[in-house]
Structure 1
């Protein structure tokens, strides 16, 4: 699932392949951009901002994309077979003489003036992987609404940018509280430690797609709770629970009732799934 670390690595690979080169192919497969042609323009840079990607090209233009649940950009060498999915899922193709970046299942794809980038990313809070990361401001924003459940506060990109559902669940586990505990009920010092941990984990995972939060040498134990419904907790052995909608796209919360204290759903909570 794309989160801030995945977007950061995607941007780095796209930047390495495209930046400084002229586009020899431009194919934007969304209705409002169907007639747009960026061929002949140089790619200036590809910059991540939270979970947003900003591909800047000559002429003061930025191609803005967001991966959300299952979008992806793949980079291929010239002549290499594209393997990111069937052709009907392709939303964008940006090619140079040596590389081609192909965007699959992109739910958001816009072309805007570079000076107008704040209209799509200006609302974001401190970027966990940004050069201007501001720890104190992130703590202030997360704690600004004491009655708000922790999970909601962490997912709100206006508080801090880059956390998605995987990190929400893992961070709550590491803090030993449930995602439904109001932020104001966190013990003293926990908000600061939690946000410092979020920064550390995203930094540790930004250079790899196989995200890891569990501190164990076993390669099969990468995450503590996310996606592990009914499996035993690595700490206490209690079966991991999950709660959410029946649609796999719903933001499901995973937690260990043995390790994590705080409110949790009763009606509709599940041990399977």
Structure 2
């Protein structure tokens, strides 16, 4: 699933292509909006909110989309061949004079009044890359349930918006705690560092084509996707196991030496498989 930095990049791409432009083509390929015609309206802005994209359009309308695992927005110059996937995967087309934005495999696509955006993003916590960022509020949210595992608390977008499975694993490594450690057990000084560290990672990567948390070329991540290769710090083999509520388990990576706290027993470790690109 794309994380906050990737969604921020998608919003910047769409905003640069469409903001201030009048739509000359509009095609929303979902049954509920199949007859909607937005042509003649001007795109006002494209704003990211956590992992959500809000395309605001003249007339008080917002096109809300969420990429989840496989969705993508692609922008093509006029006359250029579309290459984001087969035609049957297209869910939205927004065209202007010079560029066309094409939404592929979008699992969430809905048109709503701009004044009702709170219906789809009002539940989100402070946005790590947004103007509403509030580290103190984010920390209060995270610590509200001290018994909850650190990894699950970080993934809960109601606590802070923008962290996905990659950053969850990397943040836990940098904090020296396993993702299964109850967040209330995390030492106070490390817990206090968490919001600022998360923001630092996402801000450092929002303008990069390839995500990195290590600053090392060719070794971009400390633990995510690296099992069973050796830890970059201590050479212990990185481990991987599923973490979740049983309905949305996600591959979670950690170093059993550098990170302290509970972890699955070796017999419960998931079989190694290639991780999804964004967790």
TM-score, normalised to structure 2, is 0.93
CA contact (8 A) 1:230 1:271 kept: no
Summarize deviations over 1:163-218 as a string: whole Å, max 9, x none: 011100100011111100001110121112122110001111111231111132xx
- CA shift digits 1:142-177 (9 cap, x unpaired): 011110100111001000000011100100011111
Secondary structure, counterpart of 1:106 in structure 2: coil
Query: How does 1:35-50 map onto structure 2 within 5 Å?
Result: 35-50=35-50
Q: Determine the structure 2 residue equivalent to 1:33.
A: 33
- Counterpart Cα distance in 1 of 2:58 and 2:249: 39
Asked if the contact 1:241/1:271 (under 8 Å) is kept, the reply is no
Residue equivalent to 1:177: 177
Structure 1: distance between partners of 2:209 and 2:104: 17
Residue of structure 2 equivalent to 1:261: 260
Q: Which residue of 1 aligns with 2:90?
A: 90
Correspondences of 1:1-273 after superposition (within 5 Å)? 1-216=1-216, 219-244=217-242, 250-266=249-265, 267-270=267-270, 272-273=272-273
**Counterpart for residue 277 of structure 2:** none
**2:71, 2:271 → 1: CA distance?**
29
Deviation at 1:268, TM superposition (A): 2.1
What is the Cα deviation at residue 270 of structure 1?
3.8
Q: Do the aligned residues in 2 keep the contact of 1:21 with 1:42 (CA within 8 Å)?
A: yes
Question: How big is each residue's C-alpha offset from its partner over 1:3-36, in whole Å with a ceiling of 9 and x where there is no partner?
Answer: 0001111101110110101101111111111111
- Shift of the alpha carbon at 1:45? 0.5
Any conservation in 2 of the 1:26–1:94 contact (CA below 8 Å)?
A: yes
1:254, distance to aligned residue in structure 2 (A) = 0.8
Q: Over residues 102-131 of structure 1, what are the superposed CA-to-partner deviations in whole Å (9 max), with x where a residue is unaligned?
A: 111111001000000000000100000001
1 CA distance for matches of 2:182 and 2:45? 40
Task: Count residues in correspondence.
Answer: 269
| Mapped contact 1:229–1:271 kept (Cα < 8 A) | no
The 4+ residue runs of structure 1 with deviation greater than 4 A are none
Q: Is the 8 Å Cα contact of residues 155 and 164 (structure 1) preserved in structure 2? A: yes
How much does 1:250 deviate? Answer: 4.2
> Would you say the 8 A contact 1:242–1:252 is kept in 2?
yes
Structure 2 segments unaligned to the other structure (5+ residues): 274-279
Question: Which range is displaced more, 120-129 or 80-89?
Answer: 80-89
> CA separation of 1:250/1:103 partners in 2, compared to 1, >3 Å: closer, same or farther?
farther
TM-score after normalising by structure 1: 0.95
CA contact (8 A) 1:6 1:209 kept: no
Rounded Cα–Cα distance in structure 2 between residues aligned with 1:162 and 1:270: 26
Q: Post-superposition shift, 1:271?
A: 6.5
Cα distance change, pair 112–55 in 1 and its aligned pair in 2 (3 A): same
